[in-house]
């Protein structure tokens, strides 16, 4: 056989191998169909740039172990094309590798191309350079926008096809999305908005990806686009076409956090209730937003004012570890749902409404029945008689009975432990001095106009939009001007006020080289007036205004038109109320700061001279130190308590903006949270009176084997002596389980249970967040739990009187339970 025949045969075999796993993805009015079989899809959002490639396999493994069979992600246009026709698909932006990692874990993928994504991502994921294209209008019938959207989306689709990543090629992608939540704003764009939606649909279909396309939050999505639901609850959602499945693209597992906010929490019981209701009422595709939120490394957070953490109170926390009990409680729910997949997707459905928000749903298929008992009453448990047997369903909960006789799961009854995570110094730090950090420093140079031209400066006879000048390459932009005063000038001389209208979101003002004040946006309003006293002189005076953005707006109709920076007016006001308007002066603009230009955070920074004897609470200072890598595999965080605001780098990796000096207000927090009733983002919060974010994630892949460089740019002024390197681990495991079940407790990372602080089998209660004995209690509770658990990394306890002996509970205690608090 000739070499060319061998080559052809090899290519045929290779093609067969590639497409041997190819599947056909279709749908009907009930479910997604994969090779003709209806499927339940339980998906979770994990955004590739908010983690690292080294974390991806572990995240996929935990997602699969948590009962997911799909992973969803957006595609981030401004990350992949930050500058016009300059693309980046390396490192954490390696979308192909990410999707291959999903497939390697045996999971499907949902690819939400958008390319507008919202996602609390900077500028909603759209590149700022779009605004510089003539006649550009975002997200509407606009040739300039549609052309650029078409180019990018086609490139992404072609890249997926080239790597055989769509399901019909043997890849993991079973659903694609075009646009995102456009129905929330379409009314503001009039007829052009509707035309744009139709164009999106036709364009998507023309790409021939071989899998269904969805449009989320788009009630009038044209066929064959499938409209889907986003929100905390989507059980009452109905698609606009009877021939498509009921899809929930975003089940918000918590909420994001902005600078100045408290910590939002959504209970495991409420998330499970929402999921249970969705599948009870015919839903078949559900995606958690987020399943792992991750970290807004670098400058990717949007807002304005979205924090660096994107934890989202998701089932996997920011560091990729299980957020218990949410992770485990949902894992149990997923297991039960998947065990009845065939019946839920093929069975005949019967519903009965008992009144008072109580209902049951029966799925019947091939002689087998499954029952859901749903109680949406937020106040009262309700007892129903079903086929001669009484069943009590707690308030705001769903019970699953896979045989319509025995309840195997109730969304309000959590048997998974609550893991209390703690940050601590590494175990090897026998003495605190071992981890005292030695700091050096450099000053950041202030910019002002001089007799000779500054490098990298542009000029205009007006104030310019900051994002259009920086092209989103920096948070910082200097606005500089000069003006001449003589003794006859109405504003002469000496004491004046400088008045500036800013939409920055932070302003640092300098007059004649002297810093006269700083102000930042507060209270959710990102435009403010700045006014401070200053001294001017006869002759030439210089004004330098440093405007700072903290994430560009990412949501809303025409959000791209929001101006950033110093929008004017800028005035000099004399004590006699005479004014000098500088708005239309000749202004010079310089992007960034000197330390960033010189890359003081990289290896280049080591070549510069750094000074000992650090100054404290001084603005515009660079700090540098080294630290050792903590042993083990526990997540690593920086405790930046004592600093003001700035940016941190570890070994040249930008771990994001820090701002521990911004404090959440003292009102609205609670030590407990009632899961019952509709959730909203401020319902269950903690962290009142505390920094919005004190700890900052450093992925272990950023660290070296031994010594690491830490560089800080401190903008507001702070004390780096309090900075420390910590690891994150389970400090306490608190478990509850009802009689007839097992209580499982675990300490992660090879650590063992060292003590049992509380154990009670009977009717234990929680008072002000502290476990207490209830009306009845087994005296052997503590000793039996200690015997089973102390000295072990994990333990399992049968919850029964056979284990603990008599509890003395009266008949009024319907279900006895065990509560344990263990120390790791």
Which among 81, 181, 447, 715 is annotated as catalytic?
Answer: 181
Which residues, in sequence order, are bridge partners of residue 322? 316
State both tokens at 258: 């902005």
Which candidate, 316, 314, 297, places its Cα nearest to that of 306? 297
Strand order in the sheet with 646-650: 440-443, 621-628, 707-714, 646-650, 653-658
Beta-strand pair 418-424/565-573: unpaired
What are the start-end ranges of the E strands in 202-279? 213-216, 226-231, 247-252, 263-264
State both tokens at 15: 């093609």
State both tokens at 277: 């209701």
Beta-strand pair 247-252/285-292: parallel
- CA–CA distance, 54 with 249 (Å, rounded to integer): 27
- CA–CA distance, 318 with 292 (Å, rounded to integer): 7
Known catalytic residue: 181? yes
Q: What SS3 class is residue 774?
A: coil
Q: What SS3 class is residue 675?
A: coil
Cis amide prior to 705 (ω within 30 degrees)? no
Contacts of 429 (CB under 8 A, 6+ apart): 435
**CB 553 within 8 Å of CB 509:** no
**CB 287 within 8 Å of CB 108:** no
- CA–CA distance, 751 with 731 (Å, rounded to integer): 10
Q: What is the largest CA-CA distance in the chain?
A: 100
Known catalytic residue: 37? no
- CA–CA distance, 540 with 536 (Å, rounded to integer): 9
- CA–CA distance, 752 with 730 (Å, rounded to integer): 10
State the sign of the Cα–Cα–Cα–Cα dihedral 195, 197, 200, 203.
Answer: negative
**CB 309 within 8 Å of CB 264:** no
Length of the chain, please? 824
State both tokens at 364: 């019947």
Q: What SS3 class is residue 8?
A: helix
Which among 148, 250, 447, 715 is annotated as catalytic?
Answer: 250
- CA–CA distance, 203 with 303 (Å, rounded to integer): 30
Which candidate, 303, 265, 256, places its Cα nearest to that of 524? 303
Element (H, E) at 5: helix 3-19
Q: What is the CA radius of gyration of the chain?
A: 30
**CB 745 within 8 Å of CB 658:** no
**CB 151 within 8 Å of CB 80:** no
Which candidate, 379, 330, 385, places its Cα nearest to that of 360? 385
State both tokens at 443: 């000053």
The residue assigned the tokens 């790597």 is 163
What are the start-end ranges of the E strands in 651-752? 653-658, 685-686, 695-698, 707-714, 724-738, 742-746
The residue assigned the tokens 């050096």 is 440
The residue assigned the tokens 């038109």 is 561
**CB 816 within 8 Å of CB 800:** no
Strand order in the sheet with 528-536: 528-536, 494-503, 565-573, 579-581
Q: What SS3 class is residue 606?
A: helix
Which candidate, 460, 510, 555, places its Cα nearest to that of 256? 555
Apex 743 CA angle, 739 and 747, nearest 5: 165
Active site residues: 181, 250
């Amino acid at each position: 056989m000739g070499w060319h025949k061998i080559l052809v045969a090899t290519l045929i075999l290779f093609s067969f191998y590639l497409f041997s796993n190819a599947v056909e993805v279709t749908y009907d009015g009930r479910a997604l169909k994969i090779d003709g079989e209806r499927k339940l899809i339980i998906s979770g959002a994990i955004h590739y740039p908010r983690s690292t490639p080294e974390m991806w396999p572990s995240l996929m493994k935990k997602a699969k172990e948590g009962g997911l069979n799909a992973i969803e992600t957006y595609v981030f246009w401004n990350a992949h094309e930050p500058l016009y026709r300059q693309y980046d698909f390396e490192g954490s932006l390696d979308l192909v590798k990410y999707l291959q990692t999903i497939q390697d874990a045996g999971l499907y993928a949902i690819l939400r191309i958008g390319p507008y994504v919202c996602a609390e991502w900077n500028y909603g994921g759209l590149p700022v350079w779009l605004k510089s294209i003539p006649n550009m209008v975002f997200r509407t019938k606009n040739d300039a926008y549609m052309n650029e959207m078409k180019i990018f989306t086609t490139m992404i689709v072609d890249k997926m096809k080239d790597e055989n990543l769509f399901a019909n090629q043997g890849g993991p992608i079973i659903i694609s999305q075009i646009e995102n939540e456009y129905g929330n704003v379409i009314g503001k764009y009039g007829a052009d908005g509707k035309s744009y939606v139709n164009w999106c649909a036709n364009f998507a279909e023309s790409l021939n990806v071989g899998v269904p396309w969805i449009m989320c939050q788009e009630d009038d999505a044209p066929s064959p686009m499938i409209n889907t639901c986003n929100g905390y609850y989507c059980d009452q959602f109905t698609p606009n076409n009877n021939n498509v499945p009921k899809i929930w693209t975003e089940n918000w597992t918590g909420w994001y956090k902005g600078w100045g906010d408290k910590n939002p929490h959504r209970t495991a019981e409420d998330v499970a209730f929402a999921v249970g209701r969705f599948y009870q009422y015919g839903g078949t595709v559900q995606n958690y937003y987020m399943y792992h939120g991750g970290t807004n490394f670098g400058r990717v957070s949007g807002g304005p004012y979205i924090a660096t953490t994107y934890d989202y109170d998701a089932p996997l926390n920011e560091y990729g570890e299980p957020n218990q009990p949410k992770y485990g409680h949902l894992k149990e729910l997923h297991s039960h749902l998947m065990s009845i997949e065939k019946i839920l997707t093929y069975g005949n459905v019967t519903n009965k409404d008992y009144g008072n928000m109580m209902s049951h749903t029966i799925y019947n298929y091939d002689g087998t029945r499954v029952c859901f008992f749903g109680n949406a009453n937020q106040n009262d448990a309700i007892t129903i008689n079903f086929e001669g047997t009484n069943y009590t369903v707690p308030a705001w909960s769903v019970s699953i009975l896979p045989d319509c006789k025995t309840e195997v799961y109730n969304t309000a009854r959590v048997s998974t432990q609550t893991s209390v995570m703690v940050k601590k110094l590494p175990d090897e730090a026998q003495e605190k001095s071992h981890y005292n950090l030695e700091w050096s420093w450099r000053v950041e140079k202030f910019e002002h106009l001089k007799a000779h031209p500054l490098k990298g400066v542009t000029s205009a006879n007006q104030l310019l939009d900051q994002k259009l000048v920086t092209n989103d390459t920096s948070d910082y932009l200097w606005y500089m001007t000069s003006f001449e005063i003589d003794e006859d000038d109405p504003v002469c001389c000496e004491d004046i006020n400088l008045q500036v209208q800013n939409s920055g979101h932070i302003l640092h003002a300098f007059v004649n080289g002297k810093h006269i004040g700083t102000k930042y946006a507060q209270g959710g309003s990102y435009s403010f007036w700045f006014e401070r006293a200053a001294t001017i002189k006869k002759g030439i005076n210089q004004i330098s205004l440093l405007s700072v953005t903290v994430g560009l707006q990412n949501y809303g109709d025409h959000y791209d038109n929001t101006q950033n920076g110093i929008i004017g007016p800028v005035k000099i006001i004399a004590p006699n109320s005479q004014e000098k308007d500088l708005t239309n002066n000749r202004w010079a603009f310089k992007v960034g700061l000197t330390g960033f230009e010189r890359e003081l955070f990289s290896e280049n920074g080591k070549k510069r001279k750094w000074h000992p004897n650090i100054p404290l609470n001084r603005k515009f200072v660079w700090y540098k130190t080294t630290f050792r890598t903590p042993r083990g595999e526990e997540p690593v965080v920086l405790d930046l308590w004592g600093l003001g605001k700035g940016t941190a780098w570890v070994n040249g990796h930008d771990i994001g903006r820090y701002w521990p000096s911004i404090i959440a207000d003292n009102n609205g927090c609670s030590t407990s949270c009632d899961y019952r009733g509709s959730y909203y983002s401020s319902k269950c919060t903690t962290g009142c009176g505390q920094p919005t974010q004190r700890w900052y994630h450093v992925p272990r892949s950023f660290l070296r084997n031994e010594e690491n460089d830490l560089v800080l740019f401190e903008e507001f002024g702070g004390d780096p002596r309090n900075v420390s390197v910590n690891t994150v681990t389970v400090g306490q495991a608190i478990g509850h389980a009802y009689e007839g079940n097992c209580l499982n407790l675990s300490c992660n990372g090879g650590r063992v249970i060292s003590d049992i602080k509380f154990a009670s089998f009977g009717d234990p209660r929680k008072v002000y967040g502290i476990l207490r004995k209830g009306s009845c209690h087994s005296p052997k509770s503590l000793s039996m739990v200690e015997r089973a658990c102390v000295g072990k990394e994990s333990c399992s306890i049968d919850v029964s009187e056979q284990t603990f002996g008599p509890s003395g509970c009266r008949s009024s205690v319907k279900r006895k339970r065990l509560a344990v608090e263990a120390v790791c």
